[in-house]
Amino acid sequence: MSNSSRRRRSGPNCCARSRGALAALLLIIAAGSTSGTSAGLVDGTASPYTLTDLRAAESTIDITSANGAFFSLPAPTVGANTSAYVTLSACSGPEIYPPANSRHRSAFDRTYLRLVVSTNSSNAQPQPGSEDASVSLARGGFAAKVLDPGDALDGLWIGVFPPKDPHGLTGNLTFEVTASYNAPPLGYTYAGSYDTGSKDNVYVLGLDDTDYAGAILSAAPQEVLSGAPPKAGIIFSETQRAPSSYFNSSACAIRNAFYAFLDSVPDARRTDIVQLNLTSRGLPANAGAQRTQFKITGLQAGTNYTAWLTSDPTFPPSSPNFFYGPAVKFMTKRNTNCRLVSDVSFCPDVAYATAIGPSMTTAAALSSINETVSPTLANFTKTLHTFNCDNTDFGMYSYIATCDDCQAAYQRWLCAVAIPRCVDTPTDAATQSAASQNGSDLTGASTGVNAQLLPYVATREASSPTRLNTSVGTFHGAWGELLPCMGVCNMVEIMCPPLMHWLCPLWDITAQRDYGTWADANAAGFGQGDNGGAGANGERWGGVQRYIATDSFGNQYCNPLGVDLVLRQNNRAARTSGVHSSLAMVAGMPALAAALCIAIL
C-alpha cells in the first residue's frame, strides 16, 4: 500500500489527478528518436511553426504572457475522408494550483494551458475567443482535439496559450504539440483502446502484488486472440520522480520521469528488469483469451512506484511512437518473509506474495504445499462427481453453473487457504486493519461498512505453524496475512450443487477473523458500490471499478484469487442463501479440518 496514496483521495490535487491519469485515456508520443523526444525547442510566437505529421514539436511559453505560441499542419494528402487529431502535453515548469480552499472546477480550469484549434486558413493564429476555433484545457497536463473526417481539408492551425491565472507564479511552461491525419494521438474510448475494432489492444493495467524486491502487474482481460500476442508493455518510475498532479496525464512528463528513473538503473539491468509473458489467469469467461503479465525485479524495499501501460512490448520501449495508459501505483514490501509466486500449476490463479522463510527455496515451499492441495482437490472432485455432471439427461442443478465451475471455485478457495497472501505486519492492527484479530469483538451486531478503507490483515507470529502445517521454512519475525475475500468462499456456495452442502461463515459472527471483503461492499460484507459511493469518475478508487480488492492507488483490501474479475465479467454479486443443511461443510478457517478432509458421501 502506498504511504501517500490515501492522502491523494481528497483535496484539489486529488481532483486534478483523477481527472487526468485516471480518465483512462491513452496518449501517443510521436517523435523521431527512440526516446520519444522532439528535436529541440521551436519558436511559434512570431509566426506559426509548421508541424510534421505525427511528430511532436517542443516549445515553451511564459505563464505571465498574454500571447500564445502557434503551429500549423499542412492540408492532408491522404484523402478528404480523414479525421484530424491534435494533442498538447505540458512537460515541465511551474505547478499552478488555486488556493487550498478552492473547490470549484472553474478555479482549476483557470490554471491550465489552453489548446486552440482552427481549420480556417484566414485564422492562422487562433485566439481563445475566436468564433471559428475550439478551446481545450490541459487538465493534468494533457489536452486533445479530434476533428471529424472532412473538417480539416485546408489544414490545421493551432494556438497554445498560458493559463488565465498563474496565481502570482512566474516562469515558463515547456510543452509538446502533436498533430496528425494518419494516426490518432490519443485513445478516447473509456476502455483505453484507440481502435475499438481491434482485438489485440490492451485496456488497463492492474497490480497483482509486490514483495520486498519485485512486483507483478498485468493487463486487463483481452479478447480471444487470433494468433498475434497483445502489443503491451510497461514503463515505471519511483513515485517521487513521477509527475505531480499538474502534469500527471502529460505524455512528455511521464516519458521524462521514466527515463530519469532508467538512468538510475545499472546498464546491465536495463533490459532484464521487466519480464513479459502471457497468462490466462483470471479469464474464466473468455475461453482462449490471454493477457500480458509483467514481472519486475530489482526494486527497492519499502518504496513507492508508479507504472504506466504502453503499446510497445519491449523494455525499454524501442519504438518512437507508443501509447501510455493510466497510471497504477504500488509500494514494495519490507517483510522478507513475503515472496512473490505466480504461474503455479496446481493453483493457477495465484500471483501474489506468500509467506516463505528466507532460507527456503520457492520451489521447495510450493512442493510442500502441493502435497496437501492436490490430494484435497482430488477428494473434492471425487465427491463432486457423485453428481452426474456430464449427463444433461440427468438434470441440471443450475442454469448458471456447471461442475467445472464448482471445481474451479473450490480450487480458488483451497489455494487461498493453502497459499496465504503475505503482507507487511501492521504496527497497530487495531487501527490499521479492518480484520478481527481474535474474534472477541464479533458479537453478531453489525460492524458497519469499512468506512476508513482499511485492509483486512491478520498478524501471524513467526512461532505459529502454517495453516495446513506445510513446510515453508523458518520465518524471520511476524508477518501479516491479507485475508481471502469473502467472495472466494461465496463463489463455492454459488457454483456448487446442493449435495456439497457448502456453508460460509456469517460476516458479523465469525467471518471477519478469516475473511475480508471488497472495499466497496456493504455492511453485510457483500455487494459492490455500497460503501459511500465512488465519487466522480470513480476517483475514490482511482478509476471506475467494482468488487474492489485492489484499487488503482495500490491499496489492497482482501485476497480475491480472481473472483473479483469473475464477478465483473458475470456482472453479478455473490449472495449467501441463508438456509443450509445441517450436514454442511464449514468453510471458516478455524474449521479447516472439516472442509479439507472431505468424505465420500
AA letter at 355? A
For residue 366 the three cell numbers come to 510450493
In the chain, what percentage of residues exceed pLDDT 90? 42
Among 184, 215, 230, give the residue marking a domain's end.
184
Kindly state whether residue 190 falls inside one of the protein's structural domains.
no
- The CA-based angle 20-290-287, given to 5 degrees, is 125
From CA 419, how far away is CA 433, in angstroms rounded?
Answer: 20
Q: How far apart are CA 381 and CA 384, in angstroms?
A: 5
Q: Which residue has the higher pLDDT, 525 or 406?
A: 406
Residue 498, pLDDT score: 87
Judged by phi (left if over 0) then psi (alpha if -120 to 50, else beta), residue 18 lies in: alpha
Q: Mean pLDDT across the stretch 95-121?
A: 90
Q: Tell me if 347 is assigned to some domain.
A: no
CA-to-CA separations, 419 to 327, 348, 349, 352, in angstroms, rounded: 29, 12, 11, 9
* Residue 467 domain-assigned (yes or no): no
Output the 3-class SS for 549-588.
Answer: CECCCCCECCECCCHHHHHHHHCCCCCCCCCCCCCCEECC
CA dihedral 446, 450, 451, 456 (to 10 degrees): 140
At residue 480, the pLDDT reads 93
In a domain, 111, yes or no: yes
Mark whether 231 and 150 lie in a shared domain: no
Q: What is the pLDDT of residues 392-404, one digit of tens each?
A: 777 778 877 889 9
pLDDT at 72 over 60: yes
> For residue 54, what is the domain's CATH number?
2.60.120.380
State which of 104-108, 352-356, 443-447, 450-454 shows the largest mean pLDDT: 352-356
Q: Tell me the sheet residues that pair with 485.
A: 516
E strands, 249-316, where?
Answer: 274-279, 291-296, 304-310
Same domain, 230 and 296: yes
Quickly state the pLDDT bin for 195 (edges 50, 70, 90): very low
- One domain for residues 54 and 172: yes
CA 156 to chain centre: 36
Neighbours of 266 (CB within 10 A): 8
Is 523 domain-assigned?
Answer: yes
Residue 309 sits in the same domain as residue 433: no
Nearest to 240 by CA among 112, 140, 329, 309: 329
Q: Say whether both 53 and 102 belong to one domain.
A: yes
Task: State whether 144 and 235 are in the same domain.
Answer: no
Rounded CA-CA distance 139/132 in Å is 23
Confidence band, pLDDT 50/70/90 cuts, at residue 423: very high
Number of domains composing the chain: 3
Strand partners for 247: none
Q: Average pLDDT in the 532-546 region?
A: 67
Q: Are 53 and 84 in contact (CB under 8 A)?
A: no
Mean pLDDT of 308-336: 81
Query: Which 8-state DSSP code applies to residue 420?
Result: P
Buried b vs exposed e over 503-540: b needs ≥16 C-beta within 10 Å? bbbbbbebbbbbbbbbbbbbbbbbbbbebeebeebbbb
Residue 473: inside a domain: no
In a domain, 25, yes or no: no
Count the Cβ atoms, other than its own, within 10 Å of residue 367.
12
**Would residue 512 count as lying in a domain?**
yes
- Average pLDDT (201-212) is 79
3-class secondary-structure state, position 235 = strand
Asked if residues 51 and 70 have their Cβ atoms less than 8 Å apart, the reply is no
Please report, for the domain that includes residue 272, its CATH number.
Answer: 2.60.40
Alpha-carbon distance 499 to 583, whole Å?
10
Same domain, yes or no: 235 and 149: no
Q: List 70's β-bridge partners, or say none.
A: 159
Instruction: Write the single-letter amino acid at 147.
Output: L
pTM of the model: 0.79
Check whether residue 314 and residue 381 sit in a common domain.
Answer: no
Give the residue from 380, 407, 377, 383 showing the smallest Cα distance to 600.
383
| Residue 457, Ramachandran bin (φ over 0: left; ψ between -120 and 50: alpha; else beta) | beta
Provide the residue range defining the domain that includes 529.
373-418+428-453+485-596
Mark whether 412 and 556 lie in a shared domain. yes
Quick count: other Cβ atoms within 10 Å of Cβ 105?
12
Closest CA to 292 of 233, 343, 351, 226: 233
Distances from the Cα of 352 to the Cαs of 120, 469, 471, 475, 560, in angstroms?
56, 20, 19, 18, 11
For residues 252 and 297, membership in a common domain is answered with yes
Give the pLDDT of residue 510: 76
* 179 and 215, same domain (yes or no): no
Confidence of residue 78 (pLDDT cuts 50, 70, 90): low
Tell me what the pLDDT averaged over the chain comes to.
79
Q: Are residues 212 and 174 in the same domain?
A: no
